[in-house]
Amino acid sequence: MFKYKSASSSSRFMAVLLLGIGLNGLAVADVYKFVDAGGHVYYTDKPKHGGYRKIIQTPLAFLSAPRKSRFGLGGPLDFRLSTLKRRSEYSPIIEAAADRYSLDPALLHAVIRAESSYNPGAVSNKGAAGLMQLMPGTADRYGVSDRFDPESNIDGGARYLSDLLDMFQSNVQLAVAAYNSGENTVKRYGNQIPPIPETQNYVSRVLTYYRQN
């Protein structure tokens, strides 16, 4: 078993990387995380108590794949490790924005993960951009001049999410649905999650990530 006590974002990523590929470059394992009362973060592949939470699960297809394809760029483990690294990098900005707008940081993390997997350069086919996938109109509404600037993007997206929660009386499901499809769409359907497959799948995904945080 490999265990690590976190001291910085870069060393935290290296700990998970070692867990994922093993010290000999061959072993692959699920990764579990535990945060103690002092705020120290621990990672392991063999948790010894129920306080650990699984943060990376190695797919069966990955385990059964030939070794060369397992460790090639673009594989599922590469994607998870890249997402985890970016999450660690942007966490201080996310936590600050959540505090500024009285949001649960876990919810803000969940929305960002669903929107862009923490990729500040992400662009959708509809023109949404950045970590929180702001549309041009939303960016203008919240004074975000550069949607690819992580701090500005997160600030604007957090303000928008906070306003949606106020609008829908702290109903997280409706606020998340409105973040995806627009507040007017949610209102048009009688303040219910719209019967739009994309929006329904989005709400389900965000709530799953929210529970995992």
Q: List, in sequence order, the alpha helices (H) in 47-149.
A: 60-64, 67-70, 76-100, 105-116, 136-141
The answer to whether the beta carbons of residues 158 and 179 sit under 8 Å apart is: no
Annotated active-site residue 183? The verdict is no
The separation between CA 114 and the C-alpha centre of its own chain, rounded to angstroms, equals 6
Q: Is-contact 51 33, C-beta < 8 A?
A: no
Alpha helices (H) along 168-196: 172-181, 183-188
- Amino acid of residue 160: Y
Q: Pick the catalytic residue: 89, 115, 183, 198?
A: 115
CA 213 to chain centroid, in Å, comes to 9
At CB < 8 A and 24+ separation, what contacts does 194-202 make? 202/114, 202/176, 202/177
What gap in Å lies between CA 28 and CA 26, rounded to an integer? 7
Q: Active-site residue numbers? A: 115
